[in-house]
């Protein structure tokens, strides 16, 4: 049995915060505002995996009203959610992602991001791909006001 999952997230970009993508810090004058560390890609991936297994969503499992998740490491949340999915017998076939922002450029960091996500999910980097897309200067992701991420995954359950 196979199932697909889709995740999407957006965060406002503000000075004085780290710009994080899949656990990788990218040098930039601004970063994601958020209750957690704001890692937009980690959040989209978490929702894709949870959605594929119909196990809820990130807002439900790690609500931003809960002080426990203040400044939370989003990769730790991702690992936690993936453990939940995996414990149901699922394994990852592949994960494909898009990070949308004109700046900073994602491509120079692609391999680091693939490796970071692969490490968190305990899979091969070959099972993960990440693309950066610009928004042609259009607000909000093209003007540096926000960053958006999309993730789609395929998971597989083997009853043998
Ligand atoms: Mg988020």
* Cα 95 to averaged position of ligand 1 atoms, centre (Å): 18
Predicted confidence at residue 47, as pLDDT, reads 98
User: Strand ranges (DSSP E) for the chain?
Assistant: 2-15, 20-21, 24-25, 30-32, 90-100, 128-133, 146-157
Distance 64 CA to ligand 1 centre (A): 9
C-alpha 149: how far from chain center: 7
Q: Indicate the pLDDT class of residue 69, thresholds 50, 70 and 90.
A: confident
CA of 158 to the centre of ligand 1 (A): 31
Neighbours of ion ligand 1 (CB under 5 A): 9, 43
| Contact assessment for residue 37 and residue 72, using Cβ atoms and an 8 Å cutoff | yes
Q: Residue 71 has what pLDDT?
A: 82
Q: Please write the tens of the pLDDT for every residue from 51-65.
A: 999 999 999 999 888
Identify whether 104 is preceded by a cis peptide bond (ω within 30 of 0). Answer: yes
User: DSSP state, 30?
Assistant: E
pLDDT for 160: 60
Give CA–CA dist 140/15, Å, rounded.
16
pLDDT-derived band at 99, boundaries 50, 70, 90: very high
Res 150 pLDDT > 90: yes
Check residues 29 and 160 and name the one with the higher pLDDT: 29
User: How open is the CA angle 107-76-44, to the nearest 5 degrees?
Assistant: 50
Percentage, residues of the chain above pLDDT 70: 99
pLDDT 10s digits, 2-22: 999 999 999 999 999 999 999
Which residues lie across from 20 on neighbouring strands?
A: 25
Rounded CA separation 97/24 (Å): 14
Q: Residue 58: how many CA atoms within 13 Å on its side-chain side? A: 28
**What separation in Å is there between the alpha carbon of 101 and the centre of ligand 1?**
15
pLDDT band at 34 (very low <50, low <70, confident <90, very high): very high
Report CA-CA distances (Å) from 39 to 43, 46, 54, 90, 136.
6, 11, 22, 24, 23
Tell me: pLDDT of 158 over 90: no
Tokens linked to 115:
């490796």
Mean pLDDT for the stretch of residues 81-95: 97
Rounded Cα gap, residues 103 and 22, in angstroms: 16
């Amino acid at each position: 049995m196979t199932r697909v999952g889709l995740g999407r997230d957006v965060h406002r970009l503000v000075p004085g915060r780290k710009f994080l993508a899949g656990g990788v810090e990218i040098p930039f004058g601004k970063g994601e505002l958020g209750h957690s560390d704001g890692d937009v890609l980690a959040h989209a991936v978490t929702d894709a995996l949870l959605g594929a297994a119909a196990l809820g969503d990130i807002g439900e499992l790690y609500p931003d009203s809960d002080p426990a998740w203040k400044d939370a490491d989003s990769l730790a949340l991702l690992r936690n959610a993936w453990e939940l999915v995996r414990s149901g017998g699922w394994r990852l076939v592949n994960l494909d992602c898009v990070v949308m922002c004109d700046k900073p450029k994602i491509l120079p960091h692609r391999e680091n991001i693939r490796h970071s996500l692969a490490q968190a999910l305990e899979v091969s980097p070959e099972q993960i791909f990440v693309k950066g897309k610009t928004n042609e200067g259009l607000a909000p992701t093209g003007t540096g006001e926000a960053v958006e991420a999309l993730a789609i995954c395929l998971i597989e359950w083997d009853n043998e």
